[in-house]
Amino acid sequence: MQPVVNFLPWRRRQRRRCLRFWATVFLVTAVTLTVGGTLWRASVAVELRIETLWQQSDASQLARLLAAEQPLQVRYQRWQQSQAKLFRRQRTEAWRQTLTALSENLPAKAWLTALRWQQNRLDVSGLASSFHALRELQQGLQTVKGFHLQPAGAMERDAQGRWQFHFQLNRESDDAQP
């Protein structure tokens, strides 16, 4: 006869091994899920913190730019004012040169009573004591730089015998300064 074999201890060991295996699988899965979840949550927190820092940085940069904009606007306005002042000064200088040329070409026996500037036209009115002075004045007005003399205007004698004259000088071009 064959001896009797008892499989009960083997079954117990087999069951314990199986329980240990599945407990290990469960624990490893639980630890893996916990570590993975913790890492995911940490990465989300880091991304949120980075986004918050970017927003704060953008806000502070915008505040600095807005603070720097106002002085730049004031500086730009001052620059525009200085450019306008320089332009007015240049125009005044150009007029000074024109009026100086006009006075240099004015004969001693003639004097001006009115100057009028309107729509690129300079109207010159005055008195001359002689017809010869009137002719010299007309020749002198033809030499004024930047203007050309229109045909002779009205000329007549007043009660004291002086010649009253009126000439028109037109600017040669719009972009030329007087």
Closest of 105, 171, 164, 85 to residue 129, by C-alpha = 164
Is domain 109-171 annotated with CATH 3.30.1360?
Answer: yes
Strand partners, 155: 165
Q: Is the dihedral of CA 89, 95, 96, 98 positive or negative?
A: positive
The pTM for the full model equals 0.50
Please report, for the chain, the start and end positions of each structural domain, with discontinuous segments joined by +. 10-104, 109-171
Reported as a single tens digit per residue, the pLDDT across 58-101 is 999 999 999 999 999 999 999 999 999 999 999 888 888 888 88
**For 22-31, what is each residue's pLDDT tens digit?**
999 999 999 9
Alpha helices by DSSP H, the chain: 8-104, 131-141
Cα-Cα-Cα-Cα dihedral sign, residues 82, 85, 89, 90: positive
Which of 165, 161, 160 has the alpha carbon at shortest distance from 149?
165
The C-alpha atoms of residue 165 and residue 125 are separated, in whole angstroms, by 6
Asked if residue 128 lies in contact with residue 141, where contact means CB atoms within 8 angstroms, the answer is no
CA distance 123 to 140: 15
pLDDT digit string, tens, across residues 126-167: 898 888 888 888 888 888 888 888 876 677 888 888 888 888
Q: What sign does the CA torsion over 100, 104, 108, 111 have?
A: negative
Contact at 8 Å (CB) between 158 and 175? no
Q: Count of alpha carbons within 13 Å of 76, Cβ hemisphere only?
A: 6
176 — pLDDT class (breaks 50, 70, 90): very low
